[in-house]
Amino acid sequence: MKKQMIAICTATVLVGSVFGIQSITKADHSETLTPQSSQQQTSNPATVTSNKEASATFRNIKTDRIEHYMLTGKASVFEGTYQYVVKQGERVIVKGFGTASQGGPEWGTISQTISIPKSKLNGKEPLTVTLFEIDQESGAVVNKLTAPLNASKTRNNHVFRNIKLTPATKTTTEYAVKGQASIFEGTYQYAVKQGDRVIVKGFGTASQGGPEWGAISEMISIPKNKLNGKQPLTLELFEIDQESGAVVNKHTVPMNVIKTTDNQAFRNIKVAAAAQTTTEFTMTGQASVFEGTYQYVMKQGERVIVKGFGTASQGGPEWGTISQTISIPNSKLSSKQSLTLELFEVDQESGAIVNKLIVPLNVSQTVNNQVFRNIKLVPATKTTIEYEVTGQASVFEGTYQYAVKQGEREIVKGFGTASQSGPEWGTISQTISIPKSKLYGKQPLTLELFEIDQESGAVVNKLALALK
């Protein structure tokens, strides 16, 4: 019996020396350290390997503080389900749905926490929450009720009553961490510090293991009673070396810094002349071919660059008009060899190439044979100017509008769709074509991005950029 107890105690000491006697919260893989345990850890620090190439392991890391609000009241709605939208001014910050404790016609209790990333909030403009139902037959928004944040009086209508939106009382401060990592088996470690003191630590898993880049999406909760004054917080991301157990590839990020955006709905917007990835040529002339169909091959020397077919305005024996634009990827062109075009028919019975006509590029005279005449190949004249617009948008249903102006005159307008709807930030990638015929003089162009307010139809969140 004594030998068994000695063996058990020895094993406990060994395990404790390797892993440490720590309290681990399994839900978020994090550990909250008391000031005492934090001091013990900093007095016996682990070996830290400095790595100046941390960007090779972690990239695009962003932290965002999460604000919480409590929605309370009562509802008498179909199956207890209600919808909500939180706005700051006219801009939608977050939307979702909830369920009251009972369905209508009974009055059920509403008690819901709404979480909003602080980066979505803009200045001191007040928040409002709008509650409503979706009509089951028509899909229309009905029974809408709007309540401002921290209103002294509750709001009511015939399906919502005693509705109130207030800041939630929380014992923790929460941060959302997003970015990418290229690490062994996707496992990373993190520690939140205030000064040199570790407040909370834990681990997470990226969506892919290295050497691929996996996405990081981690919610870190920090007990408020662990924080001391206004000293800033920092987040450390790192790996543990599998052989030595040392901390490697450490990446430090300030946690209270929120990057400013271009405006509240659009950010990181860039406009550049669209890259020309193709060279275009115009082929013109006439053909008298079966059903009007002809084949073509573009060559550079003996090398086939591109091939295809076209249709004249009439089939043989009549002479039909040819007018075709041929696009060639620039990657296939060599600057040292001239281009030629071969026009021909394919014999319906034998499949053989017949009536071939070779047309050099930019020859002053047209070329002819018995089925093709007045054939000419010249570089195409561009009738448009193209711009590539990239960036991010946080807009309702991902839909944004744009207009290109020269002075006050609108040249072109349209709309596009970001990769995600607001309140998330979706990617914009749009090519805008501007007809040259609509431009006059040298007056500069501007691009306006904006939203259309769903209720009033007004233009909101306009962002203007110069086009060069």
What tens digit of pLDDT does each residue of 9-18 get? Answer: 333 333 343 3
Tell me what pLDDT residue 8 has.
Answer: 35
Strand arrangement of the beta sheet that strand 266-273 belongs to:
266-273, 384-393, 426-435
| pLDDT at 143 > cutoff 90 | yes
Strand pairing category for 409-417 and 399-406: antiparallel
| pLDDT at 392 > cutoff 90 | no
Neighbours of 325 (CB within 10 A): 10
Percentage of residues of the chain with pLDDT beyond 70? 82
Tell me what pLDDT residue 107 has.
Answer: 95
Tell me what pLDDT residue 12 has.
Answer: 38
65-167 matches 278-379 in fold: yes
Return the residue matching tokens 């990617």.
427
Q: What is the CATH topology of the domain spanning 65-167?
A: Immunoglobulin-like (2.60.40)
At 160, the pLDDT band (50, 70, 90 cuts) reads: very high
CATH of region 278-379 = 2.60.40
How far apart CA 392 and CA 239 sit, in angstroms, is: 31
| pLDDT at 166 > cutoff 70 | yes
How far apart CA 362 and CA 368 sit, in angstroms, is: 15
Contact 248, 240 (CB under 8 A): yes
More confidently predicted of 40 and 109: 109
Q: What is the mean pLDDT of residues 170-187?
A: 84
What tens digit of pLDDT does each residue of 222-269 get? Answer: 888 888 877 788 888 898 888 898 888 888 877 754 433 346 666 666
| pLDDT at 274 > cutoff 80 | no
Give burial (CB, 10 Å; 0-12/13-18/19+) of 110.
buried
* Predicted TM-score (pTM) of this structure: 0.42
Cis peptide before 329 (omega within 30 of 0): no
At 433, the pLDDT band (50, 70, 90 cuts) reads: confident
**Phi-psi region at 427: left, alpha or beta (left = phi > 0; alpha = psi -120 to 50):** beta
| pLDDT at 199 > cutoff 60 | yes
Task: List the one residue out of 203, 174, 176, 188 whose CA is nearest residue 58.
Answer: 188
Contact 463, 263 (CB under 8 A): yes
Hey, where are the domains in the chain?
A: 23-57+182-254, 65-167, 278-379, 384-467
Q: What is the mean pLDDT of residues 128-143?
A: 92
Tell me what pLDDT residue 116 has.
Answer: 87
Tell me what pLDDT residue 37 has.
Answer: 39
Tell me what pLDDT residue 38 has.
Answer: 35
What tens digit of pLDDT does each residue of 342-366 get? Answer: 999 999 889 899 999 998 887 677 8
Structure tokens at 339: 């281009």
Tell me what pLDDT residue 356 has.
Answer: 92
| pLDDT at 196 > cutoff 80 | yes
124-129 long-range contacts, Cβ below 8 Å, gap at least 24? 125/88, 125/89, 126/88, 127/69, 127/86, 127/87, 127/88, 127/93, 127/165, 128/86, 128/87, 128/165, 129/69, 129/71, 129/84, 129/85, 129/86, 129/87, 129/163, 129/165
Query: Averaging pLDDT over each range in 231-245, 282-296, 327-341, which range is the top one?
Result: 282-296
